[in-house]
Amino acid sequence: MEKQARAPLWPLVAFGIILLFHVTFPTGAAGQTGTMSVLPSLPPQGSGGTTLPDSLVSGVIVDPGGSLIQIIRVPGTPPSSLKVATATAASASATAVILEEMPAYIWSFGCSPTSAAMMAGYYDLHGYPDMYTGPANGGVAPLNNLGWGTASINGETRYLCPLSATRNGLDGRTTRGHVDDYWIKYGNSQTDPYLANNWAAHTPHDCAADFMGTNQSALSNRDGSTTFYYYVDNSPYSGKNSGDGGYGLQLFLESRGYKVVRRFSQYISGYNNLSRGFTFEQYKAEIDAGRPVMIHVEGHSMAGYGYDPTGNLVYVRDTWDLSEHTFPWGGSYAGSAHYAVSVLELEPPPVTSPSPDLTPAITVTPNVMNGEVSFEVIVRVTELGVGASTDPLTLVIPRDTRWSLDGPYASSTKSLAGVDLNNDQWSYDASDPAYHVFRNNLGLGEGAMSTFGFKALFNSGNAKGVYTITTQILPGNNGETMTSNNSDSEKIDYFSH
């Protein structure tokens, strides 16, 4: 691949050319317009004397402050088979720092949206559960996309992932999605299907490829490709350009209901022969904070999720297989030079204190009554293990003329009907005319259980029928928010003498 070296002062020359030869280029969702010059003869000076090939440089625009922004195309070469990466498969060393439960998704209609999907999947598993809410894996982002299967489209077999690119029939969808509207075949530059067939593209956007502009002919992206914007002086770029994959990454995660507090794309330190730029130390800080980073190498995007300070190694999911791989920061991956990153920080998820979840269970022995019968009532209250219930709790059983306690409630009773009791933890209040009231003044620890019981006398008289005895935990100050399971009942069949 032919590469050209340039003097460090090329941006000044480029700016002069822009003033002489320019075209209007739409750059922003807010209607911003910049001045663009396609500069195939002036690719940026790369780190270590490398340059991006001319085919990846779409052009340069000028922001309102006069700074130059370079537009880089990522064609996103798909894998030819499940195991194609030439980089070394990683085996974590003792000094490596790796984000746990980082999904591995195989290339699904673009490496950039697939990398974004893996980042979203990671966040879904770490405090941001609305990143994926589909039917697969119980509504939790899967660790790989094999379960979504593949599709054969125009002679190509493509792996599917609804976080990367939605499709009719995928993950319960019944309407057209991204693949139906924008995809023909890898590298295809023809007009997108929705335009060629004169139908309306799906709305709203609902996957990474939608927001990042991937595959969309209206943005001059061939099938598989995404474009990213960078300041040529190596400072972080956080503009809101509708054609920028970095801004699209932000919109994708925000579409899930979360706020992005920081987002930028940036050339790495040393690129353009400038010391300014994103450093390995900054990358390490992102990983240490639990934030994956999108890594850009020549023509390809990957999800970075770890590092090893020994050798300045970067751990990546490369979209080409399910393995983890490493390469040296600022070096090459599978023969492609590392030149940039896209960084994103979400607002921390709300921290909620565990709240107790109490539930009762009532049993009656026997539960078939014939005339006047002595029976036993046992109530077990369980804290389901989501937070201690330290406040007193009150449980009631409605009074009924057909039955009454057979003697006073006995706190000393240790068992009934073969069930061990905690009667000493409970007291009985007979003053309420409508309810039998039982109180536990100790509360229940997380995951704890307390059981009480008493003897009762049932008298059906000359009647027969079905009676339901019910117990309910009254609302209190336990901080309990889950109240739908605060009652239970037992059916009693009764007959006349």
Statement: residue 83 has pLDDT above 50: no
81 domain-assigned:
yes
Nearest to 303 by CA among 120, 84, 166, 162: 120
**CA dihedral angle for residue 267, residue 270, residue 271, residue 274, rounded to 10 degrees:** 100
Q: Mind listing the pLDDT tens digit for each residue in 118-139?
A: 999 999 999 999 999 999 999 9
Q: Which residues, at least 6 apart from 476, have a Cβ–Cβ distance to it below 8 Å?
A: 391, 392, 393, 394
Q: What is the pLDDT of residues 311-323, one digit of tens each?
A: 999 999 999 999 9
Q: Which helix (H) or strand (E) holds 205?
A: none
Query: How far apart (Å, rounded) are the C-alpha atoms in residues 321 and 435?
Result: 64
- Respond yes or no on whether the N-terminal peptide bond of residue 328 is cis (omega within 30° of 0): no
Task: State how many domains the chain has.
Answer: 2
The per-residue pLDDT for range 142-164, each reduced to its tens digit, is 999 999 999 999 999 999 999 99
Tokens coding 159: 């792996």
Q: What backbone torsions phi and psi does residue 253 show, to the nearest 5 degrees?
A: -70, -35
The DSSP bridge pattern shows strands 368-370 and 487-495 to be: parallel
301 with 367, same domain: the answer is no
- Count of residues in the chain: 497
- Look at residue 198 and tell me if it is in a domain: yes
d(CA 413, CA 411): 6
Answer yes or no: do 339 and 422 share one domain: no
Tell me whether residue 42 is in a domain: no
This prediction has a pTM of: 0.68
In-domain check, residue 41 = no
- Per the structure block, which two tokens stand in for 306? 């770890």
On whether both 153 and 174 belong to a single domain, the answer is: yes
Q: Are 422 and 411 in contact (CB under 8 A)?
A: no
Q: Are 340 and 271 in contact (CB under 8 A)?
A: yes
Residues 316 and 393 in one domain: no
- Residue 459's CATH number: 2.60.40.1510
pLDDT at 461: 83
| 3-state SS record for 240-284 | CCCCCHHHHHHHHHHCCCCCEEEEEEEEECCHHHCCCCECHHHHH
- Residues 364 and 337 grouped into a single domain: no
Q: Which domain holds residue 127?
A: 74-225+238-259+277-346
* pLDDT recorded at residue 360: 96
Same structural domain, 288 and 386: no
Which three-class secondary structure state does DSSP give residue 384? coil
Per-residue pLDDT at 91: 64
Let me know whether 362 and 297 are in one domain.
no
Q: Is residue 291 located within the same domain as residue 423?
A: no
116 falls within a domain: yes
Q: Which of 346, 372, 388 is the last residue of a domain?
A: 346
